[in-house]
């Protein structure tokens, strides 16, 4: 379990470093990618997932509490452990205790990844920019604020993510990381418009905490009144996906 814990930290940190990094490149002042648009952000997040999944192979590459809780609900192993020759040596069982350690690691990794992205763009954060733009590098926010409907959007988008990932279980493929990456791009393009598609509690909450504590020049509120939506919405979506997978997949 110790290897899996560190694997989730490293993988989620990589996810947030590259994901928050592409957002920073597109929206912060005087960057090379400024104005690159929503499609660039979608593909950037997809490739961030691709990289995060590859470097967190020891833990099964959850990188997302919604995925962990979906697997727990579906009673599917969290990870399969192998030796250097590729032989299976054991599994990480889907227990509440193991889920706790996975989610803690994801939160730590998300905080660290967002912090490193901030350091990479420190001089651009120092430029005179709207505080909302600076927050948007770290966390999501709705285009039209309606807590109930924003919540529904996050539930639906996360359900799609986790249910498709659970369907990979009985259909193993070496294209897993690429498939998940393209799935994230597709979710962003189709369902990301209303809320910015957190679809991952750690992806939003860890960086939001980083925004709150880091010495960011000219930052404003961390928008804690909205923070519950990208946390609880994905949790509900992940659990619903696990429940349906129990009936449909396994």
Q: What is the pLDDT of residue 14?
A: 98
pLDDT higher than threshold 70 for residue 10: yes
Name 201's Cβ contacts closer than 8 Å, sequence gap at least 6.
Answer: 64, 65, 66, 230, 231, 232, 234, 235
Q: What are phi and psi of 189, to 5 degrees?
A: -70, -30
Provide the token pair at 166: 């659970």
What 119-122 contacts at long range (C-beta under 8 Å, 24+ apart), as own/partner pairs, is 120/17, 120/21, 120/24, 121/21, 121/24, 121/25, 121/28, 121/31
CATH number of 1-244: 1.20.1080.10
Mean pLDDT score, 2-13? 94
Helices (H), 80-200: 96-120, 122-125, 131-138, 147-168, 176-191
Give residue for tokens 């104005």: 35
Provide the token pair at 57: 């192979």
- What's the pLDDT tens digit per position in 112-158? 999 999 999 999 999 877 999 999 999 999 999 999 999 999 999 99
């Amino acid at each position: 379990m110790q290897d899996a814990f560190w694997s989730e930290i490293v993988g989620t940190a990589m996810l947030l470093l590259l994901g928050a990094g592409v957002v920073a490149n597109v929206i912060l002042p005087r960057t090379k990618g400024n104005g690159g648009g929503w499609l660039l952000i979608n593909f950037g997040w997809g490739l961030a997932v691709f990289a995060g999944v590859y470097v967190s192979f020891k833990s099964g590459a959850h990188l997302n509490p919604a995925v962990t809780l979906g697997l727990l609900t579906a009673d599917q192993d969290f990870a399969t452990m192998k030796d250097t020759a590729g032989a299976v040596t054991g599994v990480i069982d889907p227990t509440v205790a193991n889920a706790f350690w996975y989610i803690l690691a994801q939160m730590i990794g998300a905080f660290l990844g967002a912090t490193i992205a901030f350091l990479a763009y420190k001089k651009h954060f120092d430029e005179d920019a709207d505080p909302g733009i600076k927050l948007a590098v770290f966390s999501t926010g709705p285009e039209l604020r309606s807590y109930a409907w924003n919540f529904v959007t996050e539930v639906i988008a996360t359900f799609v993510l986790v249910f498709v990932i659970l369907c990979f279980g009985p259909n193993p493929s070496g294209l897993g990381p690429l498939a998940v990456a393209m799935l994230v791009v597709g979710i962003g393009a189709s369902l990301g418009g209303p809320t910015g598609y957190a679809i991952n509690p750690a992806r939003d909450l860890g960086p939001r905490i980083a925004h709150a504590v880091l010495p960011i020049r000219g930052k404003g509120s961390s928008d804690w009144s909205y923070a519950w939506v990208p946390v609880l919405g994905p949790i509900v979506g992940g659990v619903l996906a696990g429940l349906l997978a129990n009936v449909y997949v396994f």
